[in-house]
Amino acid sequence: KAETGISLVDLDEDGVDRAFRADVLKGLRQQQKAVPARWFYDEEGSRLFEQITRVAEYYPTRAETEILGAQGAQFADLIGPERAVVEFGSGSSVKTPLLLEAIAPAAYVPLDISGDFLRQSAAALAQKFPGLPVYPVEADFMRRVSLPDEVSALAKLGFFPGSTIGNMVPRTAVDLLRSMRATLGADEGESPMLLIGMDLVKDRAVLEAAYDDAEGVTAAFNTNLVRRINRELDGTIDPAALEHSAVWNDDLARIEMHLRATRDFSFEVSGEKFSLRKGETIHTENSHKFTRRSAYTLLLAGGWTPVRRWLDEEERFSVILAIA
């Protein structure tokens, strides 16, 4: 069952996403210019991300998929078949089926702010798992979400793969983990569980290569943000004046992606004037990496107690099961 509801995307009279414009203008007014990473994912950005997951240097998707494929029997043991799986995000066509096959849950509830994408992937999954009730919910999962009545009596398993938690600074990540507790009913009935992918700290060269592949797919993904700003927000940014940069920040244990000005230049976005000096950057993404302890500390701060942790064969990526 998938009903069309009111879109959560707030468009102005010209069809421009107000939140996108507000985030971009606010970010460009800062001393260190920045645009939140969530705005990468327009149609072209989502296509480029898919392509990133297939480049040789970008190991996280392959490593996590390996874990999900290899540990199904243990997931089934620890999680059981009685829960509703609540996925934070629309679900990937590869990882989600691995989990659903392994535990054969009572229901599947994907949550996503983008209704079109959500309904598409929910329909594909419902086809692949004919006996499985699927209840897509169009919602911003950064806040507490009301789940459908059909799953109110079931215990929940939250699923948050991809190390997407790593795109948030710790304060935001803790807020999200606490919202997940509330969404999954931590204070009602049986304690919810959470299965979460968290990428690991490793050799700097391996990390930097994963975010600056030789084919230039990640560079294109980064620069696509500028093309989106130009198209949707009347931007006049010359994409050729910006170069992709991916650098490991060792103090904060994260890869930072920036777009760096190769010369001084000025530009406009939505009629507002901005300028960059040669060498200045627009910060476009953080991708935090974790150790066993830093992952556990973050989860505990968000109200989740780690139960079990799995790694891929090469020990590049972790999947952690936690309980509220």
Residues that bind ligand AVJ (CB under 6 A): 52, 60, 162-164, 166-167, 211, 218, 221, 285, 287
- Minimum Å gap between C-beta 218 and ligand AVJ is 5
The token duo for 37 is 């990473």
3-state secondary structure 161-185: CCCHHHHCCHHHHHHHHHHHHHHCC
Task: Quote the least distance from Cβ 106 to ligand AVJ, whole Å.
Answer: 28
- Which of 185, 255, 257 shows the shortest CA–CA distance to 217? 257
**Smallest distance, Å, CB 133 to ligand AVJ?**
28
Residue 60 C-beta: closest distance to ligand AVJ, Å? 6
Measured from the CB of residue 268, what is the shortest distance to ligand AVJ in angstroms? 27
**Pick from 110, 60, 5, 70: nearest CA to 211:** 60
Q: Which residues contact 30 (CB under 8 A, 6 or more apart)?
A: none
CB of 206 to ligand AVJ, least distance (A): 13
Q: How far is CA 47 from CA 17, 94, 161, 162, 171, in A?
A: 20, 15, 18, 16, 30
Q: Which is nearer to ligand AVJ, 171 or 277 (CB)?
A: 171
Closest CA to 284 of 175, 200, 211, 204: 211
Which of 218/224 has CB closer to ligand AVJ?
218
Query: Considering beta carbons, is residue 232 or 285 the nearer one to ligand AVJ?
Result: 285
The Cα 246–Cα 208 span in angstroms is: 6
H or E element, residue 29? helix 18-29
* CA distances in angstroms from 101 to 1, 110, 133, listed in the order given: 21, 16, 14
With respect to ligand AVJ, which residue has the nearer C-beta, 115 or 162?
A: 162
User: Which residue is listed with tokens 């010359």?
Assistant: 238
Across the strands, what pairs with 53?
A: none
CB of 287 to ligand AVJ, least distance (A): 3
* Shortest-Cβ-distance residue relative to ligand AVJ: 287
* Min dist. Cβ of residue 242 to ligand AVJ (A): 16
Nearer to ligand AVJ, 52 or 173 (CB): 52
Closer of 211 and 296 to ligand AVJ (Cβ): 211
- Tracing tokens 């797919």 back to the chain, one arrives at 217
Taking the complex as a whole, how short is the minimal distance between the CB of residue 223 and ligand AVJ, in angstroms? 12
Closer CB to ligand AVJ, residue 101 or residue 256?
256
C-alpha distance from residue 249 to each of 28, 201, 221, 290 (Å): 22, 11, 20, 13
For the residues of 238-263, what is the DSSP string, one character each? Answer: -GGGEEEEEEEETTTTEEEEEEEESS
CA–CA separation, 259 and 282 (whole Å): 5
Nearer to ligand AVJ, 65 or 164 (CB): 164
Q: Which is nearer to ligand AVJ, 6 or 205 (CB)?
A: 205
Question: At residue 182, what are phi and psi to the nearest 5 degrees?
Answer: -65, -45
